[in-house]
Amino acid sequence: MIIERAERVLESRRLCDHCLGRLFAKLGKGTNEERGRAIRFVLNMERSRRGLPPLDEPETCELCGNVFERIPGLIGNMKTAAEGIEFETFLVGSRFPREVREREEVLWEEFGIETAEPINREFNRELGKAFGMATGKDTAKNPDVVFIVEPYSGRVELQINPLYIYGRYRKLVRGIPQTPLPDFEDSVASIICRPFSRTSGGKCVFKGAGREDVDVRMLGNGRPFIVEIKRPKKRRLNLDAIAAEINESGKVEVLDLRFVSPKEAEQVLTQNHRKEYLALVRVDDGVTPEEAKYVAERLAGLEIHQRTPWRVRNARADRVRVRKVHEAEARWLDEKHFELRLVTDGGLYIKELVSGDRGRTRPSVSDLLGKPAWCERLDVLNIFDD
């Protein structure tokens, strides 16, 4: 049946071995060119037995226009497109003109072909194999770069996939925001991104797993973050050297830098984190050691109903969030101050937990004391990975 169908096709179409073999791509093993050459050989033996002339491979294939002969030249175009770009893995895609794909589909329908594969799939595979042999690079499911090739014009578009780096940062000083803001010279993001951008030649995008206020330090084990580097020219980055440069700032310190996959990066940014805080609470009406201890005992294990804080109401959806205080300890300092160490669910606003935020957070430290209190100073001590 294969030989009979191939004969009917070749009697009306001038096809190269690639395009002939591709009609039967789902049958047997080997390349389509090898398959087409074998089918043509057996067919011509049969035709010779019947006294018929051979159906030899034409000088020009009417389906593909001998596009597979363009592969050596296209490899050169791909190398040119990737000049100055560091990569180890790649994939190839192609853009074939609509008329070529339509001619192929008409052929399948006319001869009832159900075992074929599209021309672009074979072309991508063959060009990828040839480019890998010419450069020593490997194909991969999640490659460093993707070449999009227009086979007939020779145009090559290079898509450079991002790099993702995981780390944790400590913000050692108050008075710098996490991301750039007007009137602030530096931010956590800018301090971290500068060496990444310079060494990679790409655009660095900083993404923190949550954030702290400008006047809050981030200490302890640090806040998880992801650096995404778009269109990097260099991928083999010395993360230890980059960390050392960031840490020299004296403002921000990074820990545990490592490369991660896009999926791992997403998990870091969407994971829930419990947080440990140290708040300095001020009570102008005065506070006793017993009152401080009472506040901590009541808060431990308590669910807090917190409407979006007044100060961020324009940037966050106005809704009530329920968060839990898991641990609470108090240390009385003087008649107006005590320290409150808290371990809470992520997303609980601690300043508002202390002040009550005009009744938007209940219960609050102010509620429990029965008099106004506010957070005079706040540090994030640790962020725990649940």
Mean per-residue pLDDT of the chain:
97
CATH architecture, range 2-160: 2-Layer Sandwich (3.30)
pLDDT tens figures, 192-207: 999 999 999 999 999 9
List 138's β-bridge partners, or say none.
89
d(CA 163, CA 144): 8
**Cα(357)–Cα(242) distance, integer angstroms:** 41
CA neighbor of 380 nearest in space, from 233, 277, 271: 277
Secondary structure (DSSP) of 331-386: EEEETTEEEEEEEE-TT--HHHHHH-TTTTEES-HHHHHTS--EEEEEEEEEEEE-
Q: How large is the average pLDDT for residues 204-218?
A: 97
Q: What are the start and end residues of each CATH 3.30.70.3190 domain in the chain?
A: 275-383
Cα angle: 273, vertex 275, 279; to 5 degrees: 160
62 or 312: which carries more pLDDT confidence? 62
Average pLDDT over residues 140-154: 96
Burial 339-378 (b: 16+ CB within 10 A, else e): bbbbbbbeebbbbbbbbbbeebbebbbbebbeeebbbeeb
Q: How far apart are CA 132 and CA 138, in angstroms?
A: 6
Q: Pick 275-383's CATH classification: 3.40.630.30, 3.30.70.580, 2.160.10.10, 3.30.70.3190.
A: 3.30.70.3190
Query: Does the pLDDT of residue 223 top 90, yes or no?
Result: yes
Question: What DSSP state is assigned to residue 146?
Answer: E
Q: Is the pLDDT of residue 386 over 70?
A: no
Give pLDDT tens digits for 38-85. 999 999 999 999 999 999 999 999 999 999 999 999 999 999 999 999
Of the candidates 213, 256, 284, 367, the residue annotated as catalytic is 213
pTM listed for this prediction: 0.88
Which residues are annotated as part of the binding site for substrate? 277, 349
How many angstroms from the chain centroid is the CA of residue 72? 33
Q: From CA 350, how far away is CA 365, in angstroms rounded?
A: 10
In this prediction, residue 314 carries a pLDDT of 80
Binding-site annotation, residues: 277, 349
Spatial contact of 178 and 211, defined as CB atoms under 8 Å apart: yes
Residues of the chain within CATH 3.30.2300.10 domain(s) are 2-160
CATH topology of domain 163-270: Alpha-Beta Plaits (3.30.70)
| Residue 367 appears among annotated catalytic residues | no
Cβ pair 193, 226 in contact under 8 A? no
- Reported as a single tens digit per residue, the pLDDT across 84-93 is 999 999 999 9
d(CA 278, CA 10): 81
